[in-house]
Amino acid sequence: MLADTAFWVAFYHGSAMPFAYRRRVEFRDTDAAGIVHFSVFFPMMEEAEHAALRHLGMSVLHPTGQNDHLTWPRVAAQCDFIAPARFEETLRIEVTVNKIGTSSVTYGFAFYLEGPSSGPEAVAAGDSPGKLVARGSITTVCCLMTPGQPLQKRPIPDDVRQRLETLA
């Protein structure tokens, strides 16, 4: 049974391990026409990205020392609307890593409708996705955050890169 709060589930697809995040469309996500407003896809992408990072044992604010943290500010975001999604429908948001640079990561997102009775068992190896409703991407840059200092761009640490590559 799908809980009222969003939850995630990882699944295998080929040799890589993409990540899928399931989220119910809330009333606040919809516009006067009763469909998901285009602007809502952006926070949904960020929510799914954060869930993927937690799944990998990381955080968008990752401690590196006593006061320092790695963080991932966004430098680009885009989303293409393809078909409507409505209140109380369930979306499966697939998260992949499209590109890993020296200090940047570009995530890809695909939003699919799932059936009304979908539960966690609905996303498994070989499951065909539902109807595609949107596709987008976010590019982030690895930065060191030190209190009282401006953000400093940093190369992605090897252990972080290895984790991210599992979503490529």
Q: Which letter, b or e, does each residue of 137-163 get, where b requires 16 or more Cβ atoms within 10 Å of its Cβ?
A: bbbbbbbbbeeeeeeeebebeeebeeb
Token pair for 151: 């953000």
In the chain the domains, ranked by start, together with CATH numbers, are 7-55+79-138+159-165 (3.10.129.10)
- For the sheet containing 132-141, what is the strand order? 7-10, 19-24, 90-100, 104-114, 132-141, 74-81
pLDDT tens across 96-135, in order?
A: 999 999 999 999 999 999 965 444 433 443 455 789 999 9
HSE-CB at 7 with a 13 A cutoff on CA atoms is 12
CA distance linking residue 6 with residue 130, whole number of Å: 18
Q: What is the pLDDT of residue 65?
A: 80
Instruction: Taking residues 152-167, report their average pLDDT.
Output: 96
- Residue 111's φ and ψ, nearest 5 degrees, are -105, 120
What kind and span of H or E run contains 162? Answer: helix 158-165
Judged against a pLDDT cut of 60, whether residue 9 lies above it is answered with no
The pTM for the full model equals: 0.83
Strand partners, 152: 144
Annotated active-site positions, please? 31
Residue 7 vs residue 92, higher pLDDT: 92
Strands (DSSP E) found in 11-158? 19-24, 61-63, 69-71, 74-81, 90-100, 104-114, 132-141, 143-145, 152-153
